[in-house]
Amino acid sequence: MTYRIFPILLFSLFTQTCMSEKTCSNQDRTCSPIANLLSFVSAPEGLYLYSTSARNGNLAILGAGTLDSSLHTICSQERPFVPIIDFGCQNVAPFIATSVVGANNLTSLYADIPTNIPVRGPSGTIVSDDLPSVFSLDLKTSFSNAGISNSSFWAFADAAGNFYAANSCNNGEDNTGSYAGYVGSPTIVAFESWYGGGVGVPCSESHPIICICYRPVASGG
């Protein structure tokens, strides 16, 4: 009986992200059984960044009514549709500042995020040697070159990753021109220049958010 159950479980593992031809193309690595198996074995260790679909500044619209839970919901909902080479990275965290946690201190809320492994784009391109280096050194390549995002993304933070209430679209609750929000650049790599700060954009504009996909550890770092 055991020998019959194992192949079924293995097949289910391969196909869990390939339930519909409408959401998976032949080119999508996450929908290839062979690629899925290889990713478990050979995908490089890292925190994988990906972008969501573009949204206006009212990012608190989902979840349990708070910005943080809504952001996590957005990242979770869109993760299955992003072709990240590490099929085993399924835990997610929003890479954006809120009144609860800065983008430069995510482990205070997500304690199981590893902090000593490379930060990568979806295809494995290294953006930073580790999470602390993201805000302490120049990026190794831009978000655009790493395949993370080709457009500005919501940051709600100053250039150092600290939450900036005056440019947070009213803590993620506004989608009009009455408030503004800081965004990050997909092309700049310079330390304290690529993330947030500068001039806020109207919250009626649509921008993606950046999410982290990771394999959890018992404790951060």
Beta strands in the chain (DSSP E): 47-51, 91-94, 119-120, 126-128, 153-154, 180-181, 183-184, 201-202, 210-214
Domain contains 62: yes
Pairing of strands 47-51, 119-120: parallel
Instruction: Say whether 109 sits in a helix, a strand or coil.
Output: coil
**In the chain, what is the greatest distance between 2 CA atoms, to the nearest angstrom?**
64
Q: What letter represents residue 165's amino acid?
A: A
Q: How many domains does the chain have?
A: 1
Q: What would the two tokens of residue 99 be?
A: 């009144």
Predicted confidence at residue 66, as pLDDT, reads 86
Give how far Cα 175 sits from Cα of 20, 184, 203, 205, Å: 33, 18, 5, 8
- Residue 31, phi-psi category: left (phi > 0), alpha (psi -120 to 50), beta (remainder): alpha
Q: What average pLDDT score do residues 40-59 get? A: 89
Question: Residue 111's domain is classified under what CATH number?
Answer: 3.10.100.10
**Using 50, 70 and 90 to split pLDDT, how confident is the model at 64?**
low
Average pLDDT over residues 175-192: 95
Q: Is residue 3 part of a domain?
A: no
- Residue 2: inside a domain: no
Please report whether residue 22 resides in a domain: no
Instruction: Provide the residue range defining the domain that includes 173.
Output: 45-214
Structure tokens at 71: 């952001």
Please determine, for residue 26, whether its predicted confidence score (pLDDT) is greater than 90.
no
**Taking Cα atoms as reference points, which of 186, 203, 166, 202 lies closest to residue 56?**
203
How far apart CA 36 and CA 29 sit, in angstroms, is: 7
Beta bridge partners of 153: 184
The pLDDT of residue 217: 84
Here the tokens at position 83 are 């072709």
| Angle made by CA atoms 117, 119, 122, in degrees to the nearest 5 | 125
| pTM of the predicted model as reported, rounded to 2 decimal places | 0.79
Residues 58 and 49: their CA atoms lie apart, in Å, by: 22
Helix (H, G, I), strand (E, B) or coil at 168: strand
How many CB atoms lie under 10 A from the CB of residue 72? 20
- Among 31-40, 85-94, 130-139, 193-202, the least confident range: 31-40
Asked if residue 20 is part of any domain, the answer here is: no
Whether 10 maps to a domain, the answer reads: no
Is 40 inside a domain boundary?
A: no
The type of residue at 118 is P
Confidence of residue 62 (pLDDT cuts 50, 70, 90): confident
Residue 34: pLDDT band with limits 50, 70, 90: very low
In a domain, 8, yes or no: no
pLDDT of amino acid 22: 34
